[in-house]
Amino acid sequence: MEFSGEINFLLRWLHVISGVMWIGLLWYFNFVQIPTMPKIPDELKPAIGKHIAPEALFWFRWSALATLITGLLLALGQGYLHNAMTLGSGYAGIGFGMYFGIIMAANVWFVIWPKQKIALGIIDADAALKPAAARTAMLFSRTNTMLSIPMLYCMVSQQNPQGWFL
């Protein structure tokens, strides 16, 4: 199945916009918010935990899903989804990038977001569970930050046939 040029352009544009938001927020959390939290006075921390973090996590998780869906649709619409997912000849770079993205999106929805809901008190949970939930969310977020580097490399390198990759 292949889509028209206009549909593929729209999908690529939405994929890039949602990806920039997702990875931008991921890097904000890991390079700004997490390292800065210990320096914030205790009386100001509720502003982050009750207002900024929940809003940022809303955009974070939905941009992750939008990036994943538009990327898969783009690959389908351009006719290379099967080759990429099977790491076929000439498609291993984009395939690896897609797998990194799928793992990262799964981390967001099935680990980071559920643990953040506990850590931030969005759902009722025993207070003793909050530190462990926050640590798990942070570790998976850091994992996603590390995976984002080869994921971005794979995505960009596939667009440059003269470039270096598999």
C-alpha distance from residue 12 to each of 21, 57, 89 (Å):
14, 24, 23
Q: Is residue 18 over pLDDT 60? A: yes
Q: What SS3 state is found at 162?
A: coil
Mean pLDDT, rounded, for 142-165: 85
CB-based burial label for 29 (10 Å; 0-12, 13-18, 19+): buried
pLDDT at 128: 94
Q: How confident is the model at residue 163 (pLDDT cuts 50, 70, 90)?
A: low
Count of residues making up the chain: 166
Q: Is residue 132 over pLDDT 90? A: yes
Q: Is residue 36 over pLDDT 90? A: yes
pLDDT at 162: 61
**What confidence tens digit (pLDDT) does each residue in 39-70 have?**
999 999 899 989 999 999 999 999 999 999 99
Q: How confident is the model at residue 158 (pLDDT cuts 50, 70, 90)?
A: confident
Q: What values do phi and psi take at 68, rounded to 5?
A: -65, -50
Q: Is residue 19 over pLDDT 80? A: yes
Q: Is residue 165 over pLDDT 60? A: no
Which residue in 68, 73, 98 sits closest to 3, CA to CA? 73
Crossing angle, helix 53-77 and helix 92-107, to 10 degrees?
150
Q: How confident is the model at residue 166 (pLDDT cuts 50, 70, 90)?
A: low
Q: Is residue 153 over pLDDT 70? A: yes
Which residue in 63, 56, 8 sits closest to 32, CA to CA? 56
pTM of this structure: 0.91
Q: Is residue 150 over pLDDT 80? A: yes
Say if CB 60 and CB 108 are below 8 A apart: yes
The enclosing H or E element of 153 equals helix 130-158
Rounded Cα distance between 84 and 62, Å, is: 24
